[in-house]
Amino acid sequence: MNEHDSLTPSATEAPPVAPSLTQPEVQQPEVAIPQTRPERVLIQRIQDEIRKVFIGQDDLVEMVLTAFISSGHLLIEGHPGLGKTHLVNSLAKAFQGEFKRIQFTPDLMPSDVVGHSLYNMGTQQFEVKRGPVFTNLLLADEINRAPAKTQSSLLEVMQERQVTIDGETYVLPRPFMVLATQNPIEHDGTYPLPEAQLDRFMMKLLVQEPSLADEVQIATRATYSGTQTLDTAQVEPVTTPAEFEVLQEGMRQQKIVPEVIEYAVKIVQATRDSVMTSYGASPRASIALIQAAKGLAMLRDRDYVVPDDIKYCALPVLRHRVSLTAEVAISGQSVDETVIAIINSIEAPRV
């Protein structure tokens, strides 16, 4: 993923007033330095707490927070041992949220995910036993290990933020986010994710291998004791779930001009019209792309969205929503390369 420079307006200083015989010399006031917005201060504190125990992968941390602020869900693909669970756990501690993990296996049942009703012999009544989805951050580990029936139990959870058990609807805690992981190299005993479920993930992120310097630091701190370890107990809470909801509401108020909205929609539509794809992204992708761009703009201390925000978020938002034609797939061109080519084919507006 390439970093793009944000197009931020620069402040200009008025020229000083020249002294004259009839007008006294006036000292010009200093140009006020823009103050960092409270939302950015809070986000920076969360990032700082995560980086206490999660080394490197700054782009990954930024995009995870972007999705969380934008009320989106994440599909994270990476090899085992790269700290995916560690990242989610430290994020949960930073905002005092509840974190639960489900290890998806072939024998996992939908009731193991959302919960079920149980008859209590003592009270002679049915009682609802809530599943692990009743949390703030839900880690669905190796989600493609479970069959489609179990995977589909998350459809209502991810879209409506609620669960229906025996005809009764139960609202999930807020904020709520699903972070699902899958291993890119192991395919034995796995099931493909249904397109309807893939479309409900705002982004698909790829976890990269750490650099030499980062891995040396990880190995050193993991074998130390005290404050130099990677223990998430070091992460201090800096906000509450209720305060984070206010932050999410502020994301929706981010300014975006019609030209930038049209730019986002053109990119999504281009994935459907391209001769390189057998099918492209749905209108839900347009909504996800605009929401993600708003979250990224807030993360970068702006109250407005620029075209670079759209372009930066487009690849993670679209890569899991696009299928290549047989000819393109046989040629060896990857989905990421195809999506990047489509993004670059759309001219960005000058705003």
For the chain, the average pLDDT equals 85
Q: Are residues 138 and 193 in the same domain?
A: yes
**In this predicted structure, what is the pLDDT of residue 286?**
97
**pLDDT tens readout for residues 116-153:** 888 878 787 888 889 999 999 999 998 988 888 888 88
**pLDDT tens readout for residues 90-109:** 998 898 889 999 999 999 99
Q: Last residue of a domain, which of 250, 269, 301? A: 250
Residue with tokens 């009544």: 125
Whether pLDDT at 230 is above 90: no
In this structure, what token pair is assigned to residue 255? 């300014």
Whether pLDDT at 160 is above 60: yes
Q: Last residue of a domain, which of 222, 250, 278? A: 250
Q: Is residue 197 part of a domain?
A: yes
Lowest mean pLDDT among 50-54, 225-229, 294-298: 225-229
Whether pLDDT at 172 is above 90: yes
One-letter amino acid identity for 305?
A: V
Q: Is residue 135 part of a domain?
A: yes
In the beta sheet, which residues pair with residue 181? 76
First to last CA, the chain: 23
**pLDDT tens readout for residues 232-244:** 888 899 988 888 8
Per-residue H/E/C for 294-337: HHHHHHCCCCECCHHHHHHHHHHHHCCCCEECHHHHHHCCCHHH
Q: Provide the sign of the torsion angle of the four alpha carbons 51, 55, 61, 65, taken in this order.
A: negative
Q: Are residues 132 and 206 in the same domain?
A: yes
Q: How is residue 158 annotated by DSSP? A: H
Whether pLDDT at 292 is above 70: yes
Q: Is residue 223 part of a domain?
A: yes
- Average pLDDT, integer, range 326-330: 92
Q: Is residue 2 part of a domain?
A: no
Cβ atoms 141, 101 nearer than 8 A: yes
Instruction: Report DSSP letters for 71-124, one per residue.
Output: T--EEEE--TTSSHHHHHHHHHHHTT--EEEEE--TT--HHHHHEEEEEETTTT
Q: Last residue of a domain, which of 250, 273, 289? A: 250
Q: Are residues 155 and 85 in the same domain?
A: yes
Instruction: Report DSSP letters for 278-290, one per residue.
Output: EE---HHHHHHHH
How many other CB atoms sit within 10 Å of the CB of residue 102?
23
**In this predicted structure, what is the pLDDT of residue 264?**
97
In whole angstroms, give the CA distance from residue 45 to residue 51: 10
In whole angstroms, give the CA distance from residue 181 to residue 74: 8
Helix (H, G, I), strand (E, B) or coil at 137: strand
CATH number at residue 191: 3.40.50.300
**In this predicted structure, what is the pLDDT of residue 34?**
45
Domain that holds residue 86: 45-250
Q: Is residue 317 part of a domain?
A: yes
- Average pLDDT, integer, range 303-332: 94
CATH number at residue 287: 1.10.8.80
How many other CB atoms sit within 10 Å of the CB of residue 238?
20
**In this predicted structure, what is the pLDDT of residue 89?**
87
Q: Are residues 175 and 208 in the same domain?
A: yes
Chain center to CA of 287: 14
Q: Between 12 and 51, whose confidence is greater?
A: 51
Whether pLDDT at 1 is above 50: no
What is the percentage of the chain residues whose pLDDT exceeds 70? 87
Q: Is residue 283 part of a domain?
A: yes
Q: Are residues 182 and 119 in the same domain?
A: yes
With a threshold of 0.95, does the pTM exceed it? Answer: no
Whether pLDDT at 265 is above 60: yes
Whether pLDDT at 83 is above 60: yes
Lowest mean pLDDT among 67-81, 160-174, 189-203: 189-203
Q: Are residues 223 and 332 in the same domain?
A: no
In whole angstroms, give the CA distance from residue 301 to residue 36: 7
**In this predicted structure, what is the pLDDT of residue 6?**
41
**In this predicted structure, what is the pLDDT of residue 258?**
96
In this structure, what token pair is assigned to residue 11? 């402040």
Q: Provide the sign of the torsion angle of the four alpha carbons 309, 284, 206, 60, taken in this order.
A: positive
Instruction: Report DSSP letters for 178-220, one per residue.
Output: EEEEE-SS--TT--PPPHHHHTT-SEEEEPPPPPHHHHHHHHH
Chain center to CA of 156: 19
Whether pLDDT at 303 is above 50: yes
Q: Between 279 and 263, whose confidence is greater?
A: 263
Q: Are residues 148 and 291 in the same domain?
A: no
Q: Are residues 229 and 127 in the same domain?
A: yes
Domain count, the chain: 2
Q: Between 173 and 16, whose confidence is greater?
A: 173
**In this predicted structure, what is the pLDDT of residue 298?**
92
Chain center to CA of 240: 19
Q: Are residues 270 and 196 in the same domain?
A: no
Q: Are residues 264 and 246 in the same domain?
A: no
How many other CB atoms sit within 10 Å of the CB of residue 216?
12
Whether pLDDT at 251 is above 60: yes
Q: Are residues 55 and 169 in the same domain?
A: yes
